[in-house]
Amino acid sequence: MTNTALTSVEPAQNSGTSTNPDDSTASLRGAGVVLGFGDHTVVNGVDIALRSGQVTALVGPNGSGKSTLLRGLAKLHPAAGTIVLTQAMDAEPRPIHSMRPREFAQEVTLFAQSRIAPQGLSVKEVVAFGRYPYRRRFSGLTREDHAAIESALRATGLNAIADRAAGTLSGGELQRVWLSACLAQQTGVVLLDEPTNHLDLRYQIETLDVIRDLADDHGVAVGVVLHDLDHAAQVADELLLMRAGQIVAKGTPVDVLTAENIAHAYEIRVDVRLDQHTGRLRIDPIGRHAPRPHTHASSDS
Ligand SMILES: Nc1ncnc2c1ncn2[C@@H]1O[C@H](COP(=O)(O)OP(=O)(O)OP(=O)(O)O)[C@@H](O)[C@H]1O
């Protein structure tokens, strides 16, 4: 794994409508969203608003519908209800189903959970996939494309391995390559499904930093599924807690991540504390076994 740290994402510079930091105000809203598989409804009447410059985290137990909701917002799963995209502050919201795929891909990207390892392509060539919505037929990469790819490679700490074969990377490295491709797409809405999965501690934290950079420095509307509630509390402006296809709590991390809400959603006991020194929430799940006391070897004698 490269030693290059994730650095802040550079301002977008291409011809997409949401790529200028000043006008990257696209936001995605869903009302009464219903999604399912055949007769099996897995998201049932969800309201969600992803606002420019804000991080919204979706949390909840396995199978509660988080990934399916994200896929519905990304136009990858048929949805009932209303999902609209507002491309600029004063623009009229447009139903996403009326948008052409290429146009939609210039506005919204999804970092999905399962990822293939492309054989025969370098890291840089995979990241270049992110520029596909801007490419003209039979034309090569433009200066803007190269700048976006370089910026995304730097942001994900991949410049040192940009020429390596993507098929030879570890799971965590490959994950960062696909995250990089999403960043290279330079959209006003970024949807991320468990982006910290498979990453070591350092890249988990640096990925959370990149997510905050997207919102704070570039006005991106971020929707992210996270399993780690500490991470969700750390990165999100708003949390949506899902259970059985519905949102059971919505608001700031402090409002949503109460012991009662977590117990209701996950059916476990937890201890939730606000750290007085750091001002951060600490969520401590309580298992069946009493915590084992730990001592230093030197204090045993
Ligand atoms: N391809 C599929 N066909 C049928 N049912 C599916 C399919 N994919 C998911 N489901 C079901 O939809 C429900 C919601 O799944 P989803 O993956 O959206 O949940 P999730 O909250 O993202 O879960 P996890 O935390 O485990 O990733 C689950 O009951 C799951 O079994």
Tally DSSP H helices, then E strands, for the chain. 9, 12
> Does residue 186 belong to any structural domain of this protein?
yes
Alpha-carbon gap, residue 35 to 222, rounded angstroms: 21
Instruction: Assess if residue 294 is contained within a domain.
Output: yes
Confidence band (pLDDT; 50, 70, 90) for 50?
A: very high
Domain that holds residue 143: 27-299
Write out the H or E segment, with its range, that includes residue 174.
helix 171-184
In terms of DSSP bridges, do strands 238-243 and 40-50 run parallel, antiparallel, or are they unpaired?
Answer: unpaired
59 CB near ligand 1 (under 6 Å): no
Is 10 a member of any domain?
no
Q: What share of the chain is helix, strand, coil (3-state, %, to 5)?
A: 35, 25, 40
Instruction: Tell me which of 33, 42, 62, 76 to substitute to probe ligand 1's pocket, judged by most ligand atoms within 8 Å of the beta carbon.
Output: 42
Query: From the CA of 248, how far away is ligand 1's center (Å)?
Result: 18
- Asked whether residue 8 is domain-assigned, the answer is no
- Judged against a pLDDT cut of 80, whether residue 85 lies above it is answered with yes
Instruction: Looking at the CA of residue 227, tell me the nearest atom of ligand 1.
Output: 25
- Domain assignment present for residue 192? The answer is yes
ipTM over 0.90: yes
For residues 49 and 168, the answer to whether their CB atoms sit within 8 Å is: no
For residue 68, the ligand 1 atom closest to its alpha carbon is: 18
Whole-number percent of the chain with pLDDT over 90:
66
H/E element, 103: helix 101-105
Compute the average pLDDT of residues 191-201.
Answer: 92
Distance of CA 108 to the CA centre of its chain: 12
Q: Report residue 225's pLDDT band, with 50, 70 and 90 as the boundaries.
A: very high
User: 9 lies in a domain?
Assistant: no
CA of 64 to the centre of ligand 1 (A): 7
**What confidence tens digit (pLDDT) does each residue in 23-44 have?**
334 489 999 999 999 999 999 9
Under the banding of pLDDT at 50, 70 and 90, the label for residue 16 is very low
Q: What's the number of domains the chain is made of?
A: 1
Residue 146 lies in a domain: yes
Question: Tens digits of per-residue pLDDT, 244-278?
Answer: 999 999 999 999 999 999 999 999 999 999 988 88
Q: Does residue 130 register a pLDDT over 80? A: yes
* CA 45 to ligand 1 centroid distance, Å: 16
CATH number of the CATH domain containing 182: 3.40.50.300
Ligand 1 proximity of 62 Cβ (cutoff 6 Å): yes
- 88 within a domain of the structure (yes/no): yes
70 alpha carbon to ligand 1 midpoint, in Å?
A: 11
